[in-house]
Structure 1
Amino acid sequence: PIFIPREAGIDRLDYGFHSQKFARGSDHCKPLSFFDVSVIRGSLSSREVREAVIPVFHTTDFPMNSGTSIVDLPIVNGGLVDRFAHAIQGDILIARVGRNLEEKVCYVREGMVPVSDCIFILRIIDTELRKVVFEYLVSNEGKRWLGACSRGIGARYITRSDLLNMNIKL
């Protein structure tokens, strides 16, 4: 059993979610929202991704079972990309929807492409913080946290506020 504040139960009454927060602890932790970060939702629908004449990063493009979570993306002409939410070098991409979204996290080593609306772009200027956040998200603990904070039965999803409430151990 775990005990949570009443307000936390009103927001979400989910044992898996609260037990993960409890396990992470609060010593030297701050929520991601405490830091200077941007969480950007991709802008192209699945239909627009299929019809696009330029490369677009979608949930099917995450590296799976490759042993690495680092991607090199093509560089799409800046004029074409600027109209859409897009990933750039140094961004962390996180699947926003899907059955196994906790497995779909990657770091953009190079490139610049538009991103589908099934993905969050996590843009962190501080390189040290970016490294800490990325290593946490691809760790077993981070995957468990993403799985625990996701909602839904079939096609699970996470919200922007879920990401911003993620505790980062300093």
Structure 2
Amino acid sequence: MSKINKKSMGQFFTPPQIADRLVQLLEQQVGFALDLGCGRGQLGKSILKRFPLARYVGIEKDREHFNHCANLLTEQTIICADVLEEKALSLISDFMPVDTVVGNPPFLEIPISNHLVLEVKDAIPNFLSSGYKMRSEMLFFAKSLKQLKLGGQASFILPKTFFISEQYRYFREHIIDNFSNISLFELPSRIFSGAEVSTCILYFNYRKTKNQQLTLGCIDANGDIENYLKIDSAAAVTRMDFSYHRLMSESGIRIEESETIGSIGGLIHRGNMSRNELVRKSVPHFHTTSFPINEIEISLDDDVKDGIRFGQEGDILLARVGTRCLDRQVLVTAGKRAITDCIYTIKLPEADIDTVIASLSSKYGKLWRQINAKGSCAKYLTKESLLNMPLFN
């Protein structure tokens, strides 16, 4: 299958070393494992390598991948069917429920329907839908969860946004309220061939535990656990990612007590024209490539035409988009210049300018922006995340 077709179907196959790590996180013996959207069978192969006596059931709709998986796992149950169709799970009803579910579901949006919403709510009652589409990963996870017996275990690759976005707070609450022995490990952004996506491996036991601690960590490209820490469940509701909690721990900042760019009256504006538009108009401009090296101040001396947003004396300029330049910022000490739509200006009370530029320039200020950047490939910062950035003193 071509890379284009794989991407359009949200298929990013699990590298062997990551599949092995996902299976190594399983704490209990595997008797019967279910893998919805099993692809070419890498998770099944890793399960049988560690648990030779396990039984494995995989469902895959792509005929080519189904054939590969069936030939790889000849003594296991592999079914060619579309998990999104109601009849798919009826084909494996004789095997359900299972003691283990695993998965690396397709990463894409699918049209929402009342039927699909009810399916997710059946497993995750506090599920919140919005708009006309939903994440297929949420549906695959919910369908898998419905087939897991009480006391069973799960190990799943899911988007990092499920664990950091306010939109998915309900998901984190459900995990914390209903599961135990929860661990979440961040994966490298380029671990899947042909994609730069932010993902995590979630592991848990299907039983309730009160006042538990969660294990958060990160995994390197070899599948090894690089680092980890433990947090209380109350802290995990807001965010569950290791990067964030390590940053807050190392910086000594308590987010609920700290001042933020927004709380001190900061205002953020984005340029209103692209670089190409400004070039066509022959307007001198400030772009992501304009940041000086090793300097935090800049003097500008250009006139600005009406209708074009600009940065001026007292403004802090910083990159809005660009994976490699999100940690750049500069204070305008004189003059003004048009800015592209890839640049933000931060306007502040004069008394707070030095504090904010120092915070943005600090190790923790740069890490904050990297951790809070959104997007799969071209990373970008939202005004909301910047306004909520604590002042690292």
Q: Normalising TM by the smaller chain, what interval?
A: 0.7 to 0.9
Q: 2:254 aligns with which of 26, 38, 41?
A: 26
Take 2:272 and 2:365, find their aligned partners in 1: how far apart are those partners? 25
Root-mean-square deviation (CA), in Å? 2.1
Query: 1:131 and 1:117 mapped to 2: Cα distance?
Result: 25
The residue number in structure 2 matching 1:70 is 297
1:22 Cα deviation (Å)?
A: 4.2
Gap regions ≥5 residues in structure 2: 1-229
- Pair 1:58 & 2:282 matched: no
Higher RCO, Cα 8 Å, sep 6+: 1
* 2:343 counterpart (119, 134, 141): 119
Distance change >3 Å, CA 103–CA 34, structure 1 → 2 = closer
Verify the 8 A CA contact 2:359 2:392 in the aligned structure 1: no
Q: Which residue of 2 aligns with 1:151?
A: 374
Letter in 1 for 2:328: K
Letter of the 1:136 counterpart: S
Question: Matched residues in 2 for 1:108 and 1:152: separation?
Answer: 28
The aligned amino acid for 1:162 is S
C-alpha displacement of 1:75:
2.7
Counterpart of 1:33 in 2: which secondary structure? coil
Partner Cα distance (2:288, 2:281) in 1:
15
Shift of 1:169: 5.1
Q: Give me the identity figure in percent.
A: 27
Q: In the alignment, is the contact (CA less than 8 A) between 2:362 and 2:392 conserved in 1?
A: no
Native 8 Å contact 1:49 1:58 kept in 2: no
> Which has the larger Rg?
2
Question: Cα distance, 1:5 vs. partner?
Answer: 4.2
Structure 1 stretch displaced more, 115-124 or 153-162: 153-162
Match status 1:132 vs 2:132: no
Q: What secondary structure is seen at the aligned counterpart in 1 of 2:231?
A: coil
- Structure-2 separation of matches of 1:169 and 1:160: 18
Which range moves more in the overlay, 145-154 or 103-112?
145-154
Asked if 1:14 is matched to 2:241, the reply is: yes
User: Partner of 1:88 in structure 2?
Assistant: 312
Letter aligned with residue 241 of structure 2: D
Aligned residues: 160
8 Å contact 2:365–2:392 — kept in the other structure? Answer: no
Paired residues of 2:310 and 2:337 also in contact (CA < 8 A): yes
Cα distance, 1:127 vs. partner? Answer: 2.3
Q: 1:17 to 1:142 in 2, by over 3 A?
A: same
**Partner Cα distance (2:271, 2:250) in 1:** 31
| CA–CA distance in structure 2, aligned partners of residues 104 and 168 of structure 1 | 16
d(CA) in 2 for partners of 1:95, 1:122: 11
Normalised by the size of structure 1, how large is the TM-score? 0.83
1:95-114 → structure 2 map (5 Å cutoff): 95-114=319-338
Contact 1:149 1:158 in 2 (8 A): yes
How many angstroms apart in 2 are the aligned matches of 1:34 and 1:150?
A: 20
- Output one character per residue of 1:87-131: Cα deviation in whole Å (capped at 9) or x when no partner: 01010001000022233211111111111110110011x223110
Tell me, in whole angstroms, the C-alpha distance in 1 between the residues paired with 2:231 and 2:329.
Answer: 29
Greater than 6 Å deviation, 4+ residue runs: none
- The amino acid that maps onto 2:367 is R
- Structure 1 unaligned regions, length at least 5: none
Q: Structure 1 residues 158, 22: CA separation in 2 closer, same or farther (over 3 Å shift)?
A: farther
Corresponding residue of 2:40? none
